[in-house]
Amino acid sequence: MCEQAGTGLRMMREAWRKLGHPAPHYKNDRPSKAFEFFIPELDKEVDMASDLVKAMFGGYSQANVSVEAHDEAHERLSEIERKILSACIDKPQNTPDLLTLLGYGNRTGNLKKALAKLRDTGLLELTIPEKPRSKNQRYRMTAKGRRMLLRETHD
């Protein structure tokens, strides 16, 4: 296993490129045993998500895809969740910026609950996940978050 450590990211990157997509970029933080994976133009192609799963796992279960689609179809965003996602659509936002955009003077229980739900459901992610309390922390919308916001604005 030690001899193969670190080959997984290279293998995923090559498989992704072989599928005809731009090469992903990643930052590997070996001491923390963590990495960040950035996929260029992911939100521009509809079929890239299934290709990503194929590149990472060599295929996928149709049942898993159906369950996720079913869950997304039945989830509804609250007004505050929709505003948070909309604020993060162009660039990651920090908590003070979100407070200002939402018209709050300080952190409220509603904001905390909304951010927790958006993160738990995979619609938002932290830009520095290994340091959740960092002063430089921001919230970034995920591809799933973009799909959800798009669906909500068209309903």
Least confident of 39-53, 113-127, 140-154: 39-53
Helices 79-87 and 109-120 pack at an angle, to 10 degrees, of 70
* pLDDT over 90, % of the chain: 29
Q: Tell me the pLDDT tens digit for each residue of 103-124.
A: 888 888 888 999 999 999 999 9
Please check the confidence at residue 143 and state whether its pLDDT lies above 80: yes
Determine the pLDDT at residue 50.
Answer: 61
Nearest to 138 by CA among 120, 115, 117: 115
Please check the confidence at residue 74 and state whether its pLDDT lies above 70: no
More confident residue, 113 or 69: 113
Instruction: Provide the token pair at 117.
Output: 């739900």
Residue at 25: amino acid letter: H
Please check the confidence at residue 46 and state whether its pLDDT lies above 70: no
Could you give all domains of the chain from N- to C-terminal order, each with its CATH number? 1-60 (no CATH), 74-155 (1.10.10.10)
Please check the confidence at residue 69 and state whether its pLDDT lies above 70: no
For residues 51 and 16, give the distance between their C-alpha atoms in angstroms, rounded to a whole number.
7
Please check the confidence at residue 141 and state whether its pLDDT lies above 60: yes
Give the global pTM. Answer: 0.53
- Give the residue-averaged pLDDT of 18-27: 72
Determine the pLDDT at residue 34.
Answer: 75
For residues 46 and 55, give the distance between their C-alpha atoms in angstroms, rounded to a whole number.
16
For residues 114 and 21, give the distance between their C-alpha atoms in angstroms, rounded to a whole number.
34
**Mean model confidence pLDDT for the chain:** 76
What does the chain look like in DSSP terms, one character per residue? -GGGTTHHHHHHHHHHHHTT-PPPEEEEETTTTEEEEE-TTGGG-TTHHHHHHHHHHSS--HHHHHHHHHHHHH----HHHHHHHHHTSSS-B-HHHHHHHHT-SS--HHHHHHHHHHHHTTSEEESSTT-TT-TT--EEE-HHHHHHHHHHHH-
